Structure 1
Amino acid sequence: MTRWVSMLLFAALLALALPARAGLLVLSYHDVRDDVAAKGDADRYAVSTANFAAHLDWLRTHGYHPVSVQQVLDARAGRATLPTRPVLLTFDDGLRSVYTRVFPLLRAYGYPALVAPVTAWVELPPGQVVPYGPRDYTAADFVTWAQLREMQDSGLVEIGSHSHDLHRGVPGNPYGNQTPAAVTREWRGAQGYEDEAQYRARIQHDLATSSTTLKTHLGRAPRVIVWPYAAYNRATNDIAATLGMTLSFDLEGRSQEADIGQRGRDRVDAQSLASLGRLLLFNNPDVNDLAGELRRDLSRDGMRAMQIDLDYVYDPDPAQLARNLDKLVQRVKDIGPSHVFLQAFADPDGDGAADALYFPNRHLPMRADLFNRVAWQLRTRAGVRVFAWLPVLGYHLPDAGEQRALQIAASDPADVPRLDPGNPRTRALVSDIYEDLAANAYFEGLLFHDDAYLRDDELPAYGNGDPARRTQGLVDFTAQLKQAAERWRPKLVTVRNLFAQPVLQPRSEAWFAQTLHAFNAAYDYTALMAMPRMEGARNGDRWLRQLARRVAAQPHAMEKTLFELQSVDWRSGQPLPPGELLRHARLLQAEGVRHLGYYPDDFIGGSPALPEAREAMSARQFPYLER
């Protein structure tokens, strides 16, 4: 079994030392050895002893103050404040080097740290091994209980839990994909998936075993859980908290700088505190690498996105489906985007509404249990971040009577069939769908489909006819959907499709219940449909320049707006002429556009041509995404 953590390459760090709030930088290490290759070591998460010592020197000389878990807990409770530029050092898995290499340096510097072993790996029985990175590890590769006691008794080291036996994959779908044990409803063959009660019981048993084992050997139950592979959800955090592990860490995502409150100033949200982000040290970074990572401007990271139709992957023939999936994964890997927006619904008639879904759910037929399989393959084999693309209002319900009762009486028969967002049944039903998606699949963000609009003559009572209130009403609905999904997939990034007309003609908010300003205030990104042929523009280049300049005129809008280009002329049904996608991408970049995407991608027919798609959309050319 390979380590899932190898798929989680980047972890954003916390903001540093704001005037009225204490930010916290958390560094994540694994193995520290003398013999690590400068670059290209077989274990890419190993750091050389020399580089680790240099990191400690650099942190000290640049005003960072190492803090303990107790200091973090005290600051959270309002009993104390953290120093400026606080940093917490963490060490995962319980490798022997944390005692033989790290602990002596911690004592020499007087630096506190958190060590989180997998309790099932401590003092392995003879003959038992753990498949770990480039080779199988034995008991000699992990710390002993005596060594953990010595580190704990020093007063410098807090021992947390890295689970008892969740540092592994379990079957995540009928196709046999192994996905992180802590967040997967395990597929059990003829028995089907675990239900929620079985899933919770499994996690409860594992964490209780880890806690009891640590208390038995060390005299103290853990106060911290460090999630294997950064895989957790609200249910797992709640279970950990009931066992006394009220502070938890993941590996990716940016934690809020307000996570550590100050007495009398900040009311700290317990859920936001539940899992703090960490910066994962990999590829044996020297001190220059560390300094560069800490100093880089995260706001300059750019997104490159492909929007993928899962309908084109699906085939009733399992062998053909597998071939389609291999083609997709290879093409995405060859193009090298940073993100894939992956369709989670089936729309075989092409009307924009979901006829079925690609995941188990309570309300619509499941065309195939496919989304989790494809999303995980794209993440692990192509190395991209996967966002689930799902309708907000566009659904064909199996019950024709319920469909009639909920569907908006559209003024234009060509419009997407949509359910009434003001009806409580619509809100409950769609929230269930988003929750079911998150419970059954891996993804890191949500793309809200372009079906979330209202014409000015539709549902006149919604928002009392006020365009701004109608716009905000749909925004609030999507916030409810995100909340439903985040029960099982925390820290989701949100993107919402926006038509071009509300940008070019602001008065058209009344026609769509959409505005760029409202979207950029509500979502992490707005996917602006920058598709001149779809809009019937006579001069596509000029139209795109005008669109870009309208966005640039709004403060900070370029930082959050993704321009989504078309690769097909839907009027003719033909791909764009060769070179047009690339020309448009370059034109927008010249106008200051930071985030780009395109739709659709014909991965079976190879359109757009691979060289053009790669040059237009590869994130490998972008700063910081590749070293």
Structure 2
Amino acid sequence: MNPFRSRLWQVAVLMALALLAPATQASLLVLSYHDIRDDVAAKGDPDAYAVSTTNFAQHLDWLRAHGYQPVSVQAVLDARAGGAPLPARAVLLTFDDGLRSAYTHAFPLLRAYGYPALVAPVTGWLALPTDGTVPYGPRDFTRDDFLTWDQLREMQDSGLVEVGSHSHDLHRGLPGNPFGNQTPAAVTRIWDAARGYESEGAYRTRIAADLQASRDAIARHLDRAPRVIVWPYAAYNDVANALAGDMGMVLSFDLEGRSQQADLGQQGEDSAGQDALGSLARLLIHGNPDVRDLAGELRRDLSLDGVRAIQVDMDYVFDDDPAQTARNVDQLVQRVQDIGPSHVLLQAFADPDGDGAAEALYFPNRHLPMRADLFNRVAWQLRTRAGVRVFAWLPVLGFELADAGLQRELRIASGNPDEIPRLDPGDPRTLAIVGELYADLAANSHFDGLLFHDDAYLRDDEIPGYGDGISARRTAGLVDFTLALQAEAERWRPKLATMRNLFARPVLEPASQAWFAQDLAAFHRAYDLTALMAMPQLEGAGDPERWLRGLVDAVAGTPRGLEKTLFELQTVDWRSGEPIAGETLRAQTRMLRAAGVRHLGYYPDDFPRDHPALPDAREAMSARDFPYLER
């Protein structure tokens, strides 16, 4: 395992907390193993992905004793095709990378217990020359650390083991931006200083060539082409999955979640018109868990996990001086590490005049100026160095297009000059343009979710014919607009979680839903979380605490209200321009937690000015069990 994977394990674990609602359900647990060795330290082994032979055997014992039913890849394919359903508590074991211990240590136990498994080698590693090495965790691995084709054939011929592909040479990082960040090869548009970013056509050709090389090697040596692709680092997209499906690899795996109610994959077709499967989530086994650790993880109710989010303006990070920008990035990442939130909601657009609309973007795109190619760099640093989930925060309608004539044609005519400049959601050109912006964001960046900005609203006197003028239809129309944007992004960044900002008034005053075309219940149905703007100073509340308590009561009175709502507090009083005292933030978060609020956030985090002050931010928003770091 190389240092790239070492950084990725934090992200993989955090991804296991995703608040996603799978479309097609079955009782399936998929476990992802790597190296099985006799000499693994009980805790703190240099190879975080090695599991001791003893613990692996005890895992099998515990699974059998607690009613888990081992299934094969064929059983999963049959169930997905409408054949025999999977048994209750089905479990599939997978082994990544093609390490020799899959044969020497795991395979004897699989035979003894009668457990089927999937083994997915990196085929390029099986062809290492005698003096070749692969950086893998604490040491370089040599040819002797990997399986031989004869060993793979023996396992395949036993009937217990299916051999899939883990790519031929995609298990590495490639330059993903001008700043040199190494990002997963399977989803990266390679950056080259002389040529810029790799084109989509060149990207497709590169991925197809790699998958074909892996498929051909397996078919040549084992007389059976792979039906499964296991994506290195769980990094894939719909384009890559379709290419794999064209080659017969119709089942794919990532690492993005775990649940006994597992997603069997989205029904669809590859480019050849064949039925294709979306990627299945797996639980990554790391840290050499003993049987108590494994049992605790499988019994843990993920729905009880709370979100702690800080929302960050990229405009605070950017500076005309690249050296200062680099210092700002490091300062932000260090601050996020010190605070310890679970999520960062990161601005992907530039709004220097503060009117709420994007004047430029922080990623390459087709329709607006790029202020700086910065979003991917900052998001990647936050994910890999600070270990948080990053949501890309982007407008829905609030864009100031480079084409001034088109901007005039599409802009909503509002009688209030203080409204956010927005484009007409009823004009199909708006959806086409904004959809392309979301696709460009996802094709060029690595992030975990989307935050739809607070610009997605319509006053009752704006575009009166939209939704036939009916409030519920206007609300549904804007929801559908955002879901279409999500679909465009998910072509390049699958399984994105979603949040959408909601003003407080539609919650506190139901009649005002018509003034915004926003509705809490509709948001709960559409998004993973609603980011409710719980900002009493913004609303002019005379008694902020009483106002917040009323907001909690209103949310709690809706189905799944507290489960699906993130209460986002303010750290600046925008009426006066003064920062809100850190003690106020701490007191508000304590009160909200005591009232049963599960998900909390604040905006903005003014890290250059240390506001909120680090101790206040940490107490209010740390997701750690014990947030107070020793100094």
Alignment TM-score, normalising by the size of structure 2: 0.95
1:48 pairs with 49, 52, 67, which one? 52
Kindly report which structure 2 residues correspond to 1:71-86, keeping only aligned pairs within 5 A, or say none: 71-86=75-90
Q: What is residue 488 of structure 2 aligned with on the other side? A: 484
- In structure 2, distance between residues paired with 1:40 and 1:408: 58
Q: Give 1:275 deviation, angstroms.
A: 0.3
- In structure 2, distance between residues paired with 1:119 and 1:564: 47
When residues 272 and 589 of structure 1 are mapped into structure 2, their CA distance, relative to the original with a 3 A threshold, is farther
Q: What is residue 8 of structure 1 aligned with on the other side? A: 11
Q: Secondary structure at the match of 1:307?
A: strand
Q: Give 1:253 deviation, angstroms.
A: 3.2
When residues 194 and 153 of structure 1 are mapped into structure 2, their CA distance, relative to the original with a 3 A threshold, is same
Kindly report which structure 2 residues correspond to 1:258-337, keeping only aligned pairs within 5 A, or say none: 259-260=263-264, 268=267, 273-337=277-341
- In structure 2, distance between residues paired with 1:364 and 1:506: 37
Q: Which amino acid aligns with 1:253?
A: G
Unaligned runs of 5+ in 2: 270-274
Contact 1:8 1:252 in 2 (8 A): no
Q: Give 1:273 deviation, angstroms.
A: 3.4
Q: Give 1:486 deviation, angstroms.
A: 0.6
Kindly report which structure 2 residues correspond to 1:480-559, keeping only aligned pairs within 5 A, or say none: 480-559=484-563
When residues 492 and 325 of structure 1 are mapped into structure 2, their CA distance, relative to the original with a 3 A threshold, is same
- Report Cα offsets for 1:72-129 as digits up to 9, x if no partner: 1111112322221110000000111111110110011111100000001114102211
- In structure 2, distance between residues paired with 1:360 and 1:527: 27
- Report Cα offsets for 1:215-264 as digits up to 9, x if no partner: 11111111100000000000000000011100000011358947559xxx
Residue 179 of structure 2 corresponds to residue 163 of structure 1: no
- In structure 1, distance between residues paired with 2:132 and 2:465: 67
Q: Secondary structure at the match of 2:46?
A: coil
- In structure 2, distance between residues paired with 1:66 and 1:578: 53
Q: Secondary structure at the match of 1:579?
A: helix
- In structure 2, distance between residues paired with 1:276 and 1:544: 40
Q: What is residue 571 of structure 1 aligned with on the other side? A: 575
- In structure 1, distance between residues paired with 2:12 and 2:481: 33
Residue 586 of structure 2 corresponds to residue 582 of structure 1: yes
- In structure 2, distance between residues paired with 1:259 and 1:432: 28
Contact 1:307 1:600 in 2 (8 A): yes
Q: Secondary structure at the match of 1:621?
A: coil
Q: What is residue 94 of structure 2 aligned with on the other side? A: 90
When residues 348 and 91 of structure 1 are mapped into structure 2, their CA distance, relative to the original with a 3 A threshold, is same
Q: Which amino acid aligns with 2:375?
A: F
After the TM superposition, which of the residue ranges 395-404 and 157-166 deviates more from structure 2?
395-404
When residues 578 and 22 of structure 1 are mapped into structure 2, their CA distance, relative to the original with a 3 A threshold, is closer
- In structure 2, distance between residues paired with 1:583 and 1:21: 41
Q: Which amino acid aligns with 2:461?
A: D
- Report Cα offsets for 1:117-156 as digits up to 9, x if no partner: 0001114102211111111111111111111111111111
Contact 1:13 1:277 in 2 (8 A): no
Q: What is residue 147 of structure 1 aligned with on the other side? A: 151
- In structure 2, distance between residues paired with 1:201 and 1:594: 46
Q: Which amino acid aligns with 1:132?
A: Y
Q: What is residue 453 of structure 2 aligned with on the other side? A: 449
Contact 2:251 2:276 in 1 (8 A): no
- Report Cα offsets for 1:434-491 as digits up to 9, x if no partner: 0110010001100000000111111100111111111111001001100110110000
After the TM superposition, which of the residue ranges 136-145 and 251-260 deviates more from structure 2?
251-260
Q: What is residue 596 of structure 1 aligned with on the other side? A: 600
Identical positions, percent: 71
Q: Which amino acid aligns with 2:315?
A: D
Kindly report which structure 2 residues correspond to 1:141-290, keeping only aligned pairs within 5 A, or say none: 141-253=145-257, 257=261, 259-260=263-264, 268=267, 273-290=277-294
- In structure 1, distance between residues paired with 2:11 and 2:403: 42
Q: Which amino acid aligns with 2:619?
A: E
Q: Which amino acid aligns with 1:206?
A: D
- In structure 2, distance between residues paired with 1:85 and 1:260: 14
Contact 1:14 1:257 in 2 (8 A): no
When residues 40 and 330 of structure 1 are mapped into structure 2, their CA distance, relative to the original with a 3 A threshold, is same
- In structure 2, distance between residues paired with 1:531 and 1:38: 48
Residue 404 of structure 2 corresponds to residue 400 of structure 1: yes
Q: What is residue 264 of structure 1 aligned with on the other side? A: none
When residues 470 and 256 of structure 1 are mapped into structure 2, their CA distance, relative to the original with a 3 A threshold, is farther
Contact 2:12 2:255 in 1 (8 A): no
When residues 161 and 13 of structure 1 are mapped into structure 2, their CA distance, relative to the original with a 3 A threshold, is farther
Contact 1:353 1:395 in 2 (8 A): yes
Q: What is residue 116 of structure 1 aligned with on the other side? A: 120
- In structure 2, distance between residues paired with 1:354 and 1:381: 28
- In structure 2, distance between residues paired with 1:493 and 1:172: 23
Give the aligned length.
615
- In structure 2, distance between residues paired with 1:561 and 1:84: 32
- In structure 2, distance between residues paired with 1:26 and 1:480: 30
Contact 1:339 1:384 in 2 (8 A): yes
- In structure 2, distance between residues paired with 1:81 and 1:14: 26
Q: What is residue 608 of structure 1 aligned with on the other side? A: 612
Q: Could you list the runs of 4 or more consecutive aligned residues of structure 1 that deviate by over 3 angstroms after TM superposition?
A: 11-15, 253-261, 267-273
Q: Which amino acid aligns with 1:494?
A: T
Q: Secondary structure at the match of 2:197?
A: coil
Alignment TM-score, normalising by the size of structure 1: 0.95
- Report Cα offsets for 1:484-508 as digits up to 9, x if no partner: 1011000010100000000100100
Q: Give 1:281 deviation, angstroms.
A: 0.7
Q: Secondary structure at the match of 2:96?
A: strand
1:363 pairs with 358, 367, 388, which one? 367
Kindly report which structure 2 residues correspond to 1:608-627, keeping only aligned pairs within 5 A, or say none: 608-621=612-625
Residue 433 of structure 2 corresponds to residue 432 of structure 1: no
Q: Secondary structure at the match of 1:359?
A: coil
Q: Which amino acid aligns with 1:3?
A: F
Q: Which amino acid aligns with 2:190?
A: E
- In structure 2, distance between residues paired with 1:156 and 1:510: 60
1:341 pairs with 345, 351, 355, which one? 345
- In structure 2, distance between residues paired with 1:410 and 1:205: 52
Q: Give 1:394 deviation, angstroms.
A: 0.4
Q: Give 1:163 deviation, angstroms.
A: 0.2
Unaligned runs of 5+ in 1: 262-266
When residues 324 and 605 of structure 1 are mapped into structure 2, their CA distance, relative to the original with a 3 A threshold, is same
After the TM superposition, which of the residue ranges 34-43 and 113-122 deviates more from structure 2?
34-43
- Report Cα offsets for 1:383-432 as digits up to 9, x if no partner: 00001000000011112211111111112111100011001111110001
